Amino acid sequence: MDRAKELDLATQIKDVMISVLELNIGREQLDEKVSLYSPIVGLDSLSLLHILVAIEKRFDIEIDDEDVMSAELRNVGSLVHMISGVIDAKGH
């Protein structure tokens, strides 16, 4: 995936996160290095599931459990990278 597409993807994923988690922040505060489990994001297993379902709908993809387990989701960048890989693998 080229850089422009990845930046657009990152923007859309951040928008999904802000919406699903009802965060009162701008997407510029969700830098790639922000921990998913930080007080800013406050992710837990249930909210991760909600985010993944919303992303699947938004991009018309299916995210396998194996993709999530092997991704080592630690920060916003790792989530974007995982979704980018799923989209590339599906040929979107």
CATH number, domain of 73, equals 1.10.1200.10
Total count of domains within the chain: 1
Residue 4 confidence (pLDDT) above 80: no
Residue 10: phi, psi to the nearest 5?
A: -60, -40
**Cα angle 36, 42, 46; round to 5:** 90
Encoded tokens for 91 = 């040929």
Chain Cα centroid distance, residue 41? 12
Structural domain including 13 reads 3-90
Check residues 70 and 7 and name the one with the higher pLDDT: 70
- Dihedral angle of Cα 74, 20, 14, 72, to the nearest 10 degrees: 20
Per residue in 23-64, pLDDT tens?
A: 999 999 999 999 999 999 999 999 999 999 999 999 999 999
